[in-house]
Amino acid sequence: ILNVEQSPQSLHVQEGDSTNFTCSFPSSNFYALHWYRWETAKSPEALFVMTLNGDEKKKGRISATLNTKEGYSYLYIKGSQPEDSATYLCACNRGGANNLFFGTGTRLTVIP
């Protein structure tokens, strides 16, 4: 079992603010880090998969970075909008394993 931690647990921001949150994981035998966006009553939606130290991925106003040596990833949202309100999950798996181990998520609420 991998211990994946996310912080903060929840976050309220004003529309237009930029924000970021953290995922930390054991750096030993790391294989891949996944970010998902999970809206209420919908399926978790894959945002990014990152494998290499220093990886940066971007999709619209959302971006993510990866540091495998120190075991953390940041997710950034630029100019938050109400439709960004969701729970953001990170998960990782070790080399050769099929299984993802999830953090408890960061619940983001964007206030109009």
In the block, residue with structure tokens 């970075």: 65
Instruction: Give the range of 31-39, 52-60, 63-71, 72-80 binding another protein by CB under 8 A.
Output: 31-39
The residue among 80 and 93 lying less far from another protein, judged by its C-beta, is 93
The one-letter code for the residue type at 96 is G
Q: What distance in Å separates the CA atoms of residue 50 and residue 69, rounded to the nearest whole number?
A: 14
In the block, residue with structure tokens 């040596």: 69
Instruction: Give the range of 17-25, 36-44, 61-69, 71-79 binding another protein by CB under 8 A.
Output: 36-44
Binding site for another protein (CB under 8 A): 1, 4, 32, 34, 36, 42-44, 46, 49, 51, 89, 91, 93, 98-105
